[in-house]
Amino acid sequence: MYIIIVGGGKVGAQAARELVASGHEVTVIDPVPAKVDGINEELGQIAVRGDGTEVRIQAEAGMNRADLVVAATGRDEANLAVCQVAKRRFQAPVVIARINNPKNEEIFKVLGMDITVSATQAILAQIEQELPSPPLIRLLTLHASEFELVEVVVPAEAPTIGLPLSALELPPQALVSLIIHPDGSPEVPTAETRIEAGAGVMAVTLPQHEADLRRALTGAG
């Protein structure tokens, strides 16, 4: 495939590296000489200087025979222009646009850009995936001690629901200090207080016992 990448920054250069490595023909367009030189030194003469939103520059890069266009600059308005010029003037079959500000995703979709990649969204999705579920939120580190105050919200399907605190195997020195009922009312719990779905459980614990505490309260690994 012949692939044109507009924007030779970190994203564009890395895309070029991987596409060249997998045997594609690649051209990178960037206005900054240092970026062009860096890519050419590393990957052979594949980068050209220029404003990739301009019709003439796209023509010189061979946009009319490109199978794929990647708009990878750090500015969304430039990425939109790259894609619209490539599609309207050169009938580029597939355009991929990097979106830097997730707020701009909607207009790219409405204007029919084939594929949009939002780094921010990708990172957020990744974080959500990596987060232990349900999350344990560190509220504060207690002054002059190693203990911290954390909050765990009990998910609807937790196997601990209905159990009294006395039945839970809390880590050593962990102290359940406050329960916020789903209706928002607080309660200082006793050994008989039962875990309920949606309740916020505030507890004091040592940092190294966070995972154990979460497991004890919600049953989730």
Partner 1 sequence: MGCGRVGARVASELEADGHEVAVIDYDARAFLLLPTDFRGRKIVGNGVDKEVQRNAGTPAADIFMALANGDNRNAMAAQVAKHLHGVPRVVARIFDPERAEVYRELDVRAVNPTVVVTDLVREAAFGA
Q: Is 40 an interacting residue with respect to partner 1 (CB under 8 A)?
A: no
Query: Looking at 18, 60, 67, 106, which residue binds partner 1 (CB under 8 A)?
Result: 106
Q: Is 77 an interacting residue with respect to partner 1 (CB under 8 A)?
A: yes
Q: Is 124 an interacting residue with respect to partner 1 (CB under 8 A)?
A: no
Q: Is the dihedral of CA 41, 42, 48, 50 positive or negative?
A: negative
Report the alpha-carbon distance of residue 42 to residue 78 in Å, rounded: 26
Q: Is 50 an interacting residue with respect to partner 1 (CB under 8 A)?
A: no
Report the alpha-carbon distance of residue 119 to residue 122 in Å, rounded: 5
Report the alpha-carbon distance of residue 124 to residue 117 in Å, rounded: 13
Report the alpha-carbon distance of residue 201 to residue 167 in Å, rounded: 15
Q: Is 89 an interacting residue with respect to partner 1 (CB under 8 A)?
A: yes
Query: Looking at 56, 127, 143, 192, which residue binds partner 1 (CB under 8 A)?
Result: 56
Report the alpha-carbon distance of residue 19 to residue 16 in Å, rounded: 5
Binding mask 134-163 for partner 1 (x = CB under 8 A): ------------------------------
Burial state string for 147-167 with b = 16 or more CB within 10 A and e = fewer than 16: bbbbebbbeeebebbeeebee
Min dist. Cβ of residue 53 to partner 1 (A): 6
Query: Looking at 81, 113, 195, 201, which residue binds partner 1 (CB under 8 A)?
Result: 81
Can you read off the two tokens belonging to residue 101? Answer: 């500000």
Query: Looking at 88, 139, 157, 186, which residue binds partner 1 (CB under 8 A)?
Result: 88
Min dist. Cβ of residue 194 to partner 1 (A): 44
Min dist. Cβ of residue 88 to partner 1 (A): 5
Q: Which stretch binds partner 1 (CB under 8 A): 61-69, 78-86, 139-147, 148-156?
A: 78-86
Of 71, 52, 73, 72, the closest CA to residue 62 belongs to 52
Query: Looking at 80, 92, 154, 195, which residue binds partner 1 (CB under 8 A)?
Result: 80
Contact 199, 158 (CB under 8 A): no
Binding site for partner 1 (CB under 8 A): 53-56, 75-78, 80-81, 84-85, 88-89, 103-104, 106-107, 110-111
